[in-house]
Chains A and B, each alone.
Chain A
Amino acid sequence: MNATHRLQLRDICISLEGQTLVELDAEIGPGEVLTVMGPSGSGKSTLLAYLAGFLAPAFQARGRVLLDGRDISGLPAERRGIGLLFQDPLLFPHLSVAGNLRFGMPRAGANKTARVEQALGNIGLAGFGARDPATLSGGQKARVALMRLLLSAPCAVLLDEPFSKLDTHLRHEMRRLVFDRLHEAGLPSLLVTHDREDAEEAGGRVIELAH
C-alpha cells in the first residue's frame, strides 16, 4: 500500500452557458491533500463531478486531467481509477458489511475473504463482516466507507465534504483516520469543503474558489 501516484490538473476551466464557473491549474503529489474551499455555489461540486467523470452534458469543460501522466479526462468514470468519499457513508443497504468491502475489490484479487477480515480488524471492526450495515453506528459506517474506498485500490481520491455530517467528536477522529490512511497509501487527494478546520487538518495546500 505504498504505491506512488500523481494527479495533475492542467488549465481546467468549466463553464455553463458561456459563463466560467471554475478555473484551476494544480498538481497533487503522492500522499498529498489539496483542499479546495468555497461557499456553496462556487462550483466545488461541479469540479468534483468533472474529475470523477459525472459532469452533466449541459456543462462545457476544457483542460486535461493527468493521472500518473496519463490523460484520463476522456475516460468513463469506472476506468479513471479515481475513488470518491461522500458526505454520507452510503453503505449499500442490500449488502452485508463484508459485501460492501468486497464490492470494489478488483475481481482477480486472491484471498479476498482474508483481506476483508484483515481490513475490518484494521478499523476496529473485526468480526463485523456478516452484519447488516444499517445496524452500525455513524462512526462505524464512516470507517467502513473509507475502508471500502481503499480496498478498491484507487490511484487518486476525491473527498466531498466527508466530515460535514459527523458529530464534533467523531469528526476529529475521522479526519485523522482518513488523512493518515490516504497518506499511508500514497494517494493524491482532492478535498472539497467549506470547513476551515478540514483544511487545516489536511495539512496540504488550500485553494479558495471565490464567487
Chain B
Amino acid sequence: MRTLFPRLAALVPTLLLPATALQAAPAPADWEAVLDEARGQAVYWYAWAGEQRTNDYIDWVAGQVEEQFDIALTHVKVGDTSEAVSRVLAEKQAGNHDDGNVDLIWINGENFAAMKANELLFGPFAETLPNFALTHPEHNPEVVTDFTLPTEGYESPWGRAQITFYYDSHELRGDSQEVAAPPQDIHALLAWAEANPGRFTYPRIPDFTGSTFLKQALIELTDEHEALYAPVAESDFAAITAPLWDYLDALHPHLWRSGRQFPATGPEMRSLMGNGELALAFTFTPSEPAAAVADFELPESTRSYVPESGTLGNVHFVAIPYNSPHKAGAMVVADFLLSPEAQAHKQDLDVWGDRTVLDLARLDDQSRDLFTLDDSNPAMLPAGALQKTLPEPHPSWMTALQDAWQARYIGD
C-alpha cells in the first residue's frame, strides 16, 4: 500500500484537470521546483544532425546535463526540423495530448511560425529561465524576435547565424581570368558569375540556406523594404519580387550546371567547393569554412568574408512541444544552453564555432574571457566582420518565395 498510494495520488490531478496544454507542466517561475522535477527525466531533443560538429556539441551537452542535473538527454537526429514538427502534428492528430515523443526542438523561422499558429508549443517559458537575462533582450531584440515574429517566450535563443561567403584564395589568385577580388554585393555577384561560369551556385529551394539567399537577393534588389517585414499578403508580391526573378533569370545560365541543377543543402555546396567544382560559396554558420579546413574538407587557402552590402542574420532557438511529458527537463536543458559555460564551448572553433547569444556586457570578467575569439585562423572571418546584419523578413515571405521559385524553375 505504501508504494501504491503515492501513485494513485499522482493520478488524481491528471484525472480532474481538463486536458489543456499546460496540464502536467511545471510552473516555470518556481525554478527550484523545476530543477527538482527535472531530475531523472529523459529528454528527447529533436535537432538537425547534418553536421558532425553540431552532433558532437550536443553530445557534450548531454554529458553535462547528466552530470549537473541528472537529466538523460537524447539527441534525436533529424535531417530537417520539419520532421519534428510533423511528428508533433501526427500526435495531436492521434489525440496524444500529454505523452508526446518530442521534448525539445531546435527551431526558428517558418517552423516556429507554423507550430505557434497551430498551438503546438508549450509556453511562455523562455523569459523565466534564469540565464535568459544574460541575453539582455532590451538591447538585443533579435533574441526575442524570430523572423519578425515576437517569440513571446515560446522559444529560447541559443545561437546566431549570419550569411558568410567563402572562396579559395588559391583559385581566385590563379592564372585564370577570374576576378581577383570576391564580389561585394548582389550586382557584383552577377558580374562575377558571368566571368566565372559554372563556379557559383546556391542550395536548391526549399533548403533554408538557399531560401535565405533568395531573401538576401530580394532585400538588395527591392526598394520596398517595409513590405518585407509585414505578412506577404499585405503587399503586391508579384511587383515587389519582379526584380528578383529578372535577376535570377540572368544569373542561372552562369551557375554551376547552368542552373539546371542545384546542390540540396549548404553542406553539399561546401563539398562542391572541396571538390573544386565551385570557386565561391556561402554558409549560414560563419565559422563553417574554418572548421571545414580543419576537417580536411576545404583547402587551407580558404578565406571568409561578409560582403560590404551586409548579409541576413538570425538567431536560432529551442522550443518545447505542448505535449512533451518532460517539460521541466527540457526547460533545464534550454537554460543550460544559455549558460556562459555552454555558450563559450559552443563558440569554440574546435568544437562548433556557433556564435553566442549572450550579451557579453552582462557577464563578469571571468566569464567574458571565455568568449575571446582566436582570429589567427586565416579561414576565419576577421574580427568585427559580422557588424552589418540585415534582419530576417516576415516568415510568410520565405514560404511565398519558395513556392514562387519552385513554380518558376521546377520541371521546365
Direct interface between A and B, CB < 8 A: no
- Which residues of A pack against B, CB within 8 Å? none
- Which residues of B pack against A, CB within 8 Å? none
